[in-house]
């Protein structure tokens, strides 16, 4: 099996360890991984903020770059959902481009989705001796329907204890520009999420998305909490 | 129509967040709604299929509104009812005020009547109006607007409700729900018995039989539609459905999604006025069918599905934004995710263009909507329209354009990223401020520690 890594701009620039970990996990499960060097950003930042004219060239670039891959894997439910679910909407006035988007979209997966649904692997061969709370990131959960996949993978990690997270499916309040445009609302949502994480008795909080973890981690750090954010890929890569 | 004032949702949200009572009341009410809804939804194995079916019925009907509305008019008329057409809220209010002029009116809870500020128009026409739904009655006593589609008074404490009812009853009442409800019942019963005119909304209007269906729990609609001599029902054009059989689906979905009930306590089917030989019912039945901007939305292919809304409030109950702002922050009868979609459509992007952005796009609303309205998609569509037609702030435009300029060339990204990492270190050491609006990130959150190098810097290895 061959797959192209869609590393996402956020992981690339701010959380490279999650990108490295994604490579490690995929290779360990026998996938040969290509990293298309020209990739940058899928355009979600602009798209979600209403700047569709600005997002379109980035979508077009993304399709040019990933069109020839058998499978595209991203350490992010949100960016995978952008390609799978939202490119057809963004590109609807350009039928040829939309067709290409649908084709690439069908082959684009979030990491846990790819491991469980495509490879049929729920054991990544990892060991992580800690208590972990899992936050289901919204786009993965609702746009991609990832309910079981991450938890099945975590369930097979040796010495890992999954702690129950109260109100798990409530958003952490990130939402891209929402976090700055409606800072007070976003912070209030983050506050509820962090209280739930602190109440879970976990040492680590994990998610499929670096964006939510950046938000949650920013809040944990501000409160000088000992709980650490960690990307799901990094847990699956740990041995 | 005079231009609506700009809705500053961020300011309103801050105010709501500072109100501790409101925060507690909203949280507990929304959690309660969700706890009631979940089990009665889970017990319907075909729930997802029913949602899809209801969506199809609504979209089918919305595509043929002219045909179904004509059929509805014919059937209502054939059964002795009178149909009135209103282009906008002003016309609808004028029609109703003319029918009710100078009379004593009881009115049941109706979002459509809130939308057109019907009570004010009736009072101008010399009518005395009493809201018959308990929550709406309290709102009327307080001179406020409802703050939730089905729980209009969720923002008030029982103490403040005791004050309102004590003043209305002319005697001090304790802040005990049972006592207060009994007092309200006594006050309202007199009004129902005295009323000449009953006004209701419409949950569903069945084209094939000319039947209107109204759903409630307090029995006030039953009284409103059976005691007074005249019954006037007000509906938006989108409330028509083709067949009685469709109600089997809609009446399975609506009570479960709205109040977590298997069926509402009262479901009234009203087909025309009292017929010869019947013991009760009004002598006159009037159906006011109102457009008020709906036909424009119907013609808007991308937004049309927003008209499928059956006003259950489920999207409010799961919305993390609504749970923290309540309904008043939206400055509109329609709040929560559906309000953030339809208020800009009714009032314009200039007035209400902030609302579609007031969402983290978590998608919870789209997941629960019993008629499967893709609310996150509608919010995204509206954001694009706001940027295109109203324009974004200059700081945002600069940010997004710079972002896309950088991201269209990996070399630019490499260069910009190195510069940004340097700046980020300075910001973290507080040697440099973050530019607005990003400075708002650090109000409650730290910036991530920049890694020594980006993932792409290691690609060559």
The phi, psi pair for B271, rounded to 5°, reads: -120, 95
Does residue B307 belong to any structural domain of this protein? no
**Span B393-404, average pLDDT:** 92
Which residues on chain B are in Cβ contact (under 8 Å) with A214?
A: 448
If asked whether residues B283 and B258 sit together in one domain, one would say yes
> How many whole angstroms separate alpha carbon B273 and alpha carbon B284?
5
What pLDDT band is residue B432 in, cutting at 50, 70 and 90?
A: confident
> Is the pLDDT at A175 greater than 60, yes or no?
yes
**Distance from C-alpha of B91 to C-alpha of B107, rounded to nearest angstrom:** 18
**Is B305 a domain residue?**
no
Inform me whether the C-beta atom of residue A57 falls under 8 Å from chain B C-beta atoms.
yes
Reduce the DSSP state of residue A132 to 3 states and report it.
Answer: strand
In a domain, B270, yes or no: yes
- CB spacing of A188 vs B408 below 8 angstroms: no
Q: How far apart are CA A213 and CA A210, in angstroms?
A: 5
Residue A48 near residue A181 (C-beta atoms within 8 A): no
Compute the nearest-CA separation of B57 from chain A (Å).
24
Same domain? B147 vs B288: yes
Q: Is this complex's ipTM strictly greater than 0.90?
A: yes
Of B391, B417, B432, which one is at a domain's C-terminal end?
A: B391
Neighbours of A52 (CB within 10 A): 22
Question: Which chain A residues touch B13 with a CB distance below 8 Å?
Answer: 182, 184-185
Q: What is the pLDDT of residue B274?
A: 95
In a domain, B349, yes or no: yes
Residues 6+ away with beta carbon under 8 Å from B275: B80, B281
Average pLDDT over residues B272-300: 96
Looking at the structure, tell me whether residues B287 and B171 fall in a common domain: yes
Ordered domains of chain A (ranges, CATH): 2-118 (3.40.50), 131-237 (3.40.50)
Residues B306 and B252: beta-carbon distance below 8 Å: no
Residues B176 and B325 in one domain: no
What's CA A165's distance to the chain center, in Å?
A: 19
Structural domain ending residue among the three candidates B361, B391, B421: B391
Lowest mean pLDDT among B142-156, B291-305, B428-442: B428-442
User: Looking at the partner chain, which of B386, B401, B455 has a beta carbon nearest the beta carbon of A50?
Assistant: B386
CATH number at residue B231: 3.40.50.10420
Pair (B94, B155) in one structural domain: yes
Residue B301 lies in a domain: no
Verify that B453 and B370 share a domain, yes or no: no
Interchain contact, A183 vs B440, CB within 8 Å:
yes
* pLDDT one-digit tens code per residue, A6-25: 999 999 999 999 999 999 99
In a shared domain, residues B24 and B54: no
Domain interval for residue B384: 1-43+313-391
Q: Do the Cβ atoms of A50 and B363 come within 8 Å?
A: no
Mean of the per-residue pLDDT values for chain B?
95
Strand runs labelled E in B222-271: 230-236, 240-241, 266-270
CB pair distance less than 8 Å for A35 and B403: no
DSSP E strands, B264-351: 266-270, 284-290
Q: Which residues on chain B are in Cβ contact (under 8 Å) with A221? A: 445-446
pLDDT of A191 over the 70 cut = yes
Q: Are residues B79 and B151 in the same domain?
A: yes
- B380 pLDDT more than 70: yes
Q: How confident is the model at residue B368 (pLDDT cuts 50, 70, 90)?
A: very high
pLDDT digit string, tens, across residues B181-221: 999 999 999 999 999 999 999 999 999 999 999 999 999 99
Task: With cut-offs at 50, 70 and 90, classify the pLDDT of residue B41.
Answer: very high
Residues B144 and B81 in one domain: yes
The structural domain count of chain B equals: 3
A 214-233: CB under 8 A from B: 214-215, 217-219, 221-222
Q: Of B124, B114, B166, B184, which is closest to residue B145 (Cα–Cα)?
A: B114
Residue B274 located in a structural domain: yes
**Separation CA B436–CA B424 (nearest Å):** 14
Token pair listed for B315: 């999207």
What are B9's two structure tokens? 């949702």
> What's the pLDDT band for B435 if we cut at 50, 70, 90?
confident
Cβ contacts of A50 on chain B, cutoff 8 Å: 357, 380, 383-388, 392
* B308 in a structural domain: no
Asked whether residue B242 is assigned to any structural domain, the reply reads yes
Q: Are residues B105 and B198 in the same domain?
A: yes
Q: What is the mean pLDDT of residues A180-204?
A: 97
Residues 6+ apart with CB under 8 A from B422: none
Cα B316 to Cα B116, B257, B320, B329, distances in angstroms:
21, 11, 8, 13
Band the pLDDT of B460: cuts 50, 70, 90: low
Among candidate residues B333, B367, B391, the one where a domain is terminated: B391
pLDDT at B437 (0 to 100):
78
Tell me, what's the pLDDT at B3? 61
Q: Closest Cα partner for B224 from B132, B104, B152, B126? A: B132
Cα B178 to Cα B164: distance, rounded to the nearest angstrom: 15
Flag whether residue A168 sits within 8 Å of chain B, measured between CB atoms: no
CA separation, residue B368 to residues A29, A86, B42, B120 (Å): 37, 20, 12, 35
Cβ pair A78, A140 in contact under 8 A: yes
CB A73 within 8 A of CB A1: no
Residue B214 C-alpha, separation from nearest chain A C-alpha, in angstroms: 33
* Residue B448 to residue A15, Cβ atoms within 8 A: yes
CB contact under 8 A, A138 and B438: no
- Whether A187 and B377 lie within 8 Å, measured CB to CB: no
Count how many pairs of residues, chain A against chain B, have C-beta atoms within 8 Å: 192
Q: Please, what is the Cα angle at B92 between B86 and B94, to 5 degrees?
A: 120
The answer, yes or no, to whether residue B421 has pLDDT greater than 70, is yes
């Amino acid at each position: 099996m061959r797959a192209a890594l869609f590393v996402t701009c956020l992981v690339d620039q701010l959380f490279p360890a999650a990108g490295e970990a994604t490579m490690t996990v995929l290779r360990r499960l026998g996938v040969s991984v290509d990293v298309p060097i020209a990739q940058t950003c899928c355009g979600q930042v602009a798209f979600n903020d209403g700047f569709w004219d600005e997002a379109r060239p980035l979508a077009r670039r993304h399709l040019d770059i990933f069109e020839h891959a058998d499978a595209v894997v991203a350490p992010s439910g949100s960016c995978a959902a952008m390609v799978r679910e939202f490119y057809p909407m963004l590109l609807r006035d350009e039928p040829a481009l939309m067709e290409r988007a649908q084709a690439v979209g069908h082959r684009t997966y979030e990491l846990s989705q790819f491991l469980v649904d495509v490879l049929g692997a729920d054991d990544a061969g990892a060991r992580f001796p800690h208590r972990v709370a899992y936050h289901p990131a919204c786009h993965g959960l609702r746009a991609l329907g990832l309910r079981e996949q991450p938890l099945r993978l975590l369930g097979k990690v040796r010495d890992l204890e999954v702690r129950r997270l109260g109100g798990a499916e409530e958003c952490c309040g990130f939402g891209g520009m929402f976090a700055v445009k409606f800072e007070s609302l976003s912070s209030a949502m983050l506050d509820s999420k962090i209280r739930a994480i602190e109440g879970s008795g976990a040492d680590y909080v994990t998610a499929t998305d670096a964006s939510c973890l950046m938000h949650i981690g920013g809040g944990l750090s501000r409160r000088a909490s000992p709980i650490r954010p960690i990307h799901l890929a990094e847990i699956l890569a740990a041995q | 129509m005079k231009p609506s004032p700009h809705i500053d949702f961020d300011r309103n949200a801050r105010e709501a967040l500072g109100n501790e009572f409101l925060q507690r009341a909203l949280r507990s009410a929304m959690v309660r709604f969700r706890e009631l809804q979940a089990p009665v939804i889970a017990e319907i194995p075909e729930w997802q299929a029913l949602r899809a079916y209801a969506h199809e019925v609504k979209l089918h009907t919305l595509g043929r509104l002219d045909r179904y509305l004509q059929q509805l008019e014919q059937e209502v008329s054939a059964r002795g009812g009178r149909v009135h057409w209103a282009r906008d809220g002003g016309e609808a209010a004028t029609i109703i005020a003319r029918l009710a002029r100078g009379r004593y009116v009881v009115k049941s809870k109706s979002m459509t009547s809130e939308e057109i500020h019907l009570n004010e128009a009736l009072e101008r026409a010399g009518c005395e109006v009493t809201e018959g739904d308990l929550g709406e009655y309290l709102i009327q006593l307080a001179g406020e607007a409802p703050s939730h589609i089905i729980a209009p008074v969720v923002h008030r404490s029982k103490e403040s409700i005791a004050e309102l009812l004590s003043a209305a009853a002319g005697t001090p009442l304790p802040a005990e729900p049972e006592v207060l409800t009994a007092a309200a019942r006594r006050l309202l019963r007199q009004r129902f018995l005295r009323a000449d005119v009953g006004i209701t909304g419409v949950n569903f209007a069945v084209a094939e039989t000319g039947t209107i269906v109204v759903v409630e729990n307090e029995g006030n609609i039953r009284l409103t539609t059976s005691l007074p001599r005249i019954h006037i029902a007000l509906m938006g054009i989108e409330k028509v459905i083709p067949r009685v059989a469709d109600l089997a689906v809609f009446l399975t979905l609506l009570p479960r999604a709205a109040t977590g009930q298997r069926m509402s306590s009262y479901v009234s089917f009203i087909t025309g006025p009292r017929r010869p030989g019947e013991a009760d019912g009004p002598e006159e039945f009037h159906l006011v069918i109102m457009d008020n901007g709906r036909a424009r939305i119907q013609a808007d292919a991308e937004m049309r599905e927003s008209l499928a809304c059956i006003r259950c409030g489920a999207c409010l109950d799961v919305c993390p934004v609504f749970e923290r702002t309540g309904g008043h922050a939206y400055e509109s009868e329609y709040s929560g995710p559906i309000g953030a979609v339809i208020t800009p459509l009714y009032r314009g992007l200039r007035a209400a263009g902030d609302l579609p952005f007031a969402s983290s796009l978590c998608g919870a609303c789209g997941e629960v909507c019993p008629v499967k309205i893709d609310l996150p998609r509608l919010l995204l569509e509206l954001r694009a329209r706001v940027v295109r037609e109203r324009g974004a702030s200059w700081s945002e435009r600069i940010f997004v354009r710079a972002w896309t300029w950088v991201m269209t060339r990996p070399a630019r990204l490499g260069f910009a990223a190195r510069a940004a990492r340097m700046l980020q270190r300075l910001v973290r050491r507080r040697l440099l401020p973050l530019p607005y609006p990003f400075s708002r990130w650090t109000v409650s959150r730290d910036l991530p520690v920049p890694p020594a190098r980006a993932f792409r810097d290691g690609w060559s290895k």
